[in-house]
Amino acid sequence: MQYVWASVNEADVDPGQPVHQPIALVAQDGQERLPVPWDHFEALFVGGSTQWKLGPHAAALIRQAKRRRKWVHVGRVNTVRRITWFKALGVDSIDGTGFARFTRARLPMGTAALAAPTQGTLL
């Protein structure tokens, strides 16, 4: 299996130690107050609270990452609203345990949301 990226906790990697996978920066609540080391990672993983992920700071990070040709993944995307929102922002991948836990109910809903035409966002 080939991975697109891996998130790495800086405490788990010794300085100067090579990491043999593309690295993802995990952005979450408060990232808007920190510098983004764009040249040091290949993918942006958007985590954090639902409120933060659906807010203007996360949207701005996603847009900037896409302009810089970074892969963008968003975690905990379990509703049609979130699928539609992140699809409109152009993210590359999503995940959500709701699809695995409630396959019969959520998988058809998620598949339909992904197949629906995309509209732009207001943010």
Q: What is the per-residue pLDDT across 38-57, written as a single tens digit (0 to 9) for each?
A: 998 899 999 999 999 999 99
Asked if residue 2 has pLDDT above 50, the reply is yes
Separation of alpha carbons 6 and 23, rounded Å: 5
Separation of alpha carbons 57 and 100, rounded Å: 29
What does residue 85 show for φ and ψ, rounded to 5 degrees?
Answer: -60, -50
Handedness of CA 107, 109, 114, 116 (dihedral sign): positive
Torsion of the alpha carbons at 50, 51, 57 and 58, rounded to the nearest 10:
10
pLDDT of residue 123: 47
pLDDT interval class at 17 (50, 70, 90): confident
Q: Name the more confident of 119 and 91.
A: 91
Q: Can you tell me whether residue 52 is helix, strand or coil?
A: helix
- What are the residue boundaries of the structural domains of the chain, listed by start? 6-115
Q: Name the more confident of 68 and 23.
A: 68
Reported in sequence order, the residue ranges of the chain that DSSP labels E, i.e. its strands, are 6-7, 23-27, 43-46, 71-74, 93-94
